[in-house]
Structure 1
Amino acid sequence: MKQKGLGRGLDAIFGSDPIDVKLKPMSEMAEIDIADIIPNPTQPRTQFDEEALDELADSIRQLGVIQPVTVKRTDGGKYIIISGERRWRAAQRADLKSLPAYIREVDDENLHAMALVENIQRQDLNAIEIALGMQRLIDECHLTQDALSEKVGKKRSSVSNYLRLLKLPDEVQLALKEGLISMGHAKAIAGAPAEQQLRVLKRCVKKGLSVRQAEELVRMLSETPAQPAQPEEEEYPESYSRLVELLEPCFSQEISIKRTKNGGGRIVIGFSDDKDIERFIERFSQRS
């Protein structure tokens, strides 16, 4: 799922200063030993596609590093990556000893912001990684949501939507992180009553609901008067699902299996009218 860029991008970080002031932090370029480059501990991305890294490494072996990485010099003589960690990782796989790099002088607040913005614009951070990056900026740089929205060039409402994701149950966050649901699904789930959010998640994943269908489900749940807590829906053996699949071609209506605590149960076959019954009989007659 392709992510959208963050509005005004890196320009949002440095504001509207004259061009010569903006260029000062990136006035130095050098070839730096890979061993002296370290990843950004505040890097918002937590997952890297191994296959994509191998492909990038092959490209680097053939063409070299076309675009320099951007780094910040530390007091200990090392260089922290601001942007280009994928290139740095791939260059290591390609057995390069050094990398071309822009050296920028930035404070910690702008280092965090630049890493977040660069990652969102250039690669597919998932929504949870974006939300965690934003929350880290708020916590460590003492930013308000308004200040953060200015920093990363996003509307305040978008910032709020991302931060709301971190209040969702862990199961919902994991499903979003692994691509089982989209940001739209997660926003819909966030609008459901807290006790119903996992139920909505299960319906979205099992039934393959669209975002609109998820929103409609949440609306219905929100309008329904509160009911006494129901026991969690029981997970049935795989054989039950296979039985339903075998019966569906015969009945073409909703089929459900309910199992009681003593191990018995019932199979419920829905039908619309008497004509459905006649059709059921006809189909069984053809099979006998």
Structure 2
Amino acid sequence: MEAYLAWVAIDLVIPNPMNPRRDHSIESEQMQEILRSKGWAEAITCYRKGQYYIILSGHRRWHAAKKMNEKEVPVYIVQAPENNAEELDRLGSIQGGQVDWTPYEWAKYTYDIWKNSGKASYSQLANKLGISQSLVGSRIRVYKFYPRIEIEDKLSNGMYSLSMLDYILKWIKRVEKHHFELYQSMGEELIRKQMLKKYENRCFNSKIAIDNIFVTSACSKDILEFLTDINKKLQDCQFELELLKVDNEVDVTQNKLNVKMIIDEIRLIECRTKNEAGNLKEELNKLLKEIELKENQLFDMVEN
């Protein structure tokens, strides 16, 4: 089919349901002013579906025209896409360079492209979209993990960043791996919401991406305390863990010294009479029982 230009009734023009942008009213007043002062410098790109025209490019111009009560709009009619994958392709290629999609809308678009391509590899998709493989992965993971209502507006106004949302997601998955009972008892939704609140309170930075110290070494009680206190900083938790580690090392060293001193004292024991020997033997038997008791306690700690 050869593309052509036509003026059509605006009621027959329909926004594309696959378009990532949900709100077409963004900067609508400015767009209306442009249409009034400069007219239609560029038609709306559509394809026909029965009597209707499905938009591929020009959603904001269409919305502005609706607000201006226009009866007809210029439509550049092109060949209809053969499938969903091609339609997404064309939506991105036609609009991507012209429309300032939000980070969330780009994430949705990337996810839809990936899904409709049969879940192509991230490297293939990166080549297709002209972006890095890591950005493809972040967009897909963030779109799948977070509800739109939780992140879209805050991504748009810069309160959240896509990379930090991806880091938080990966950290939560580490909690699931290393503290599964806690993860199950709290539930993913609550953990996610708590971490987003802590993100807003600046309780951690991008180093959370490589946090393998606290999340893997701390006990579940410490993880729970960090998650439930929305003002507790990850850096403080890591510092407390390091102090505890130092204290434990000091305790171990002191215990080793104590044992050595006991051994040395036993070696220095002397007796001059049978009566002294009997008394010492009785004391040593008591010591052996204490050693056996302590050995059993240590064995239980190691087993558990």
Shorter chain as denominator, the TM-score bin is: 0.5 to 0.7
| 8 Å CA contact retained: 2:138, 2:162 | no
Partner of 1:222: 212
Partner of 2:32: 57
- Structure 2 letter corresponding to 1:222: N
SS of equivalent residue, structure 2 residue 205: helix
Task: Describe how 1:63-212 pairs up with structure 2 within 5 A.
Answer: 63-74=38-49, 76-105=50-79, 106-108=81-83, 109-145=85-121, 146-170=123-147, 173-174=151-152, 175-176=154-155, 179-194=158-173, 195=175, 198-207=193-202
| 8 Å CA contact retained: 2:46, 2:56 | yes
Q: State the distance in 1 between where 2:11 and 2:156 align.
A: 31
Q: State the distance in 1 between where 2:208 and 2:87 align.
A: 41
SS of equivalent residue, structure 1 residue 81: strand
Name the Cα RMSD after superposition. 3.0
- Structure 2 letter corresponding to 1:59: I
Shift of residue 53 of structure 1? 0.6
**Number of aligned residue pairs:** 205
Q: Structure 1's 184 and 155: CA in aligned 2 closer, same or farther, altered over 3 A?
A: closer
Partner of 1:268: none
Larger radius of gyration: 2
Q: State the distance in 1 between where 2:198 and 2:229 align.
A: 14
- Percent of pairs identical after alignment? 21
Shift of residue 79 of structure 1? 0.8
Q: With structure 2 as the length reference, what TM-score do the two structures score?
A: 0.58
Q: State the distance in 2 between where 1:214 and 1:197 align.
A: 16
Shift of residue 112 of structure 1? 1.6
Q: State the distance in 2 between where 1:31 and 1:166 align.
A: 38
Q: State the distance in 1 between where 2:128 and 2:5 align.
A: 25
| 8 Å CA contact retained: 1:54, 1:93 | no
Partner of 2:299: none
Partner of 1:256: none
Stretch of structure 1 that moved more, 123-132 or 30-39? 123-132
SS of equivalent residue, structure 1 residue 191: helix
Partner of 1:284: none
Unmatched 5+ stretches in structure 1? 1-24, 237-288
Unmatched 5+ stretches in structure 2? 176-190, 232-304
Q: State the distance in 2 between where 1:85 and 1:218 align.
A: 38
- Structure 2 letter corresponding to 1:233: T
| 8 Å CA contact retained: 1:131, 1:163 | yes
Partner of 2:7: 31
State which of 11, 17, 23 in structure 2 corresponds to 1:41: 17
Stretch of structure 1 that moved more, 167-176 or 115-124? 167-176
SS of equivalent residue, structure 1 residue 121: coil
- Structure 2 letter corresponding to 1:98: E
Shift of residue 30 of structure 1? 1.8
Shift of residue 169 of structure 1? 4.1
Q: State the distance in 1 between where 2:88 and 2:196 align.
A: 32
Shift of residue 77 of structure 1? 1.7
Shift of residue 96 of structure 1? 1.8
Shift of residue 48 of structure 1? 3.4
- Structure 2 letter corresponding to 1:78: Y
